[in-house]
Amino acid sequence: MKRRTFIGTSTVASVGMLTYSSGSAMKSNIHGSNKLKNNINHSVCYWCYGKIPLEDFLQSLKSLGVKAIDLIGPKDWPLLKKYNIHSSMCNGAEISLTEGWNEPKYHRTLIKNYTEMIPKVAEAGYTNLICFSGNRRGMDNEVGLKNCVEGLKQILPLAAKHDVLIQMELLNSKVDHEDYMCDNSEWGVALCKAFDSENFKLLYDIYHMQIMEGDVIRTIKKYHPFFRHYHTGGNPGRNEINETQELYYPAIMKSILETGYTGYVAQEFIPTWEDKIAALKEGVTICDV
């Protein structure tokens, strides 16, 4: 699956470097202990590390203190349970990112898929299940929203019965997912409000929404009741979230915590380092505020 500076005195700069370590410093410490504060519940998207066998990757997560993994389907849940790693965002019911709930011709298949998957998620002890709007293909945003409502309302009672949260991911349509409909917070929030259901919310991807609308911290503060999961990623490039890119993740994480959020934040950057687990450790440490 292809998914898709600060200025101050020398004293302030030194403190800043302690909280936002350089890549070289983190690389030198990768094999040391990783004692996390765990104010943030850490997760990671496996697709970014797909060349690493899943069992090896889960062992690395255990050593890093990361307790969850995103975007894993039912066939791999037994392996997750072996290592006591939680499936913080389940997948496997969607058709694709481009073929989603905004198009009525996909509703029959999607309703079947989600009707079968929701009980499986609950039985496994998990909560979150991802979904996608699909592409516009010339469709008006209002029409697409109404189509999503018409389709999703047919599975939400089942989701409520099993205490499963359906989450639609916000993706950028400018760089990675051209024509994707749920590409801004306001549209996604409007969809949530159309249901007024605790079983449908949004996956706020920080990387994607930095590209589409910026103003990340203000948006989180404004719309946090509708955001029940977060993904990271460095912009530009969707690589490491350190000082090589424009987002300052320690401040973003603190803002998320200030909203009272207790869910998971999943690293979803594509590592460029040769030692990809070291890159992951750096990302987790940066977010561990």
Contact, 30 vs 275, CB < 8 A? yes
On the question of a cis peptide bond just before residue 236, with omega within 30 degrees of 0, the verdict is yes
Angstrom CA distances, 285 to 14, 52, 203, stand at 17, 21, 22
pLDDT tens digits along 199-229:
999 999 999 999 999 999 999 999 999 999 9
Query: 247-276, pLDDT tens digit by residue?
Result: 999 999 999 999 999 999 999 999 999 999
pLDDT 10s digits, 149-188: 999 999 999 999 999 999 999 999 999 999 999 999 999 9
Answer for the pair 81, 58: CB distance below 8 angstroms, yes or no: no
The CB density around residue 225, as the number of other CB atoms within 10 Å, is 11
**Residue 35 banded pLDDT, cuts 50, 70, 90:** confident
Name the amino acid, one letter, at 153: K
39: tokens are: 């104010």
What are the structural domains of the chain? 41-287 (3.20.20.150)
Q: How confident is the model at residue 65 (pLDDT cuts 50, 70, 90)?
A: very high
Taking the C-alpha atoms of residue 188 and residue 177, their distance in angstroms, rounded to an integer, is: 16
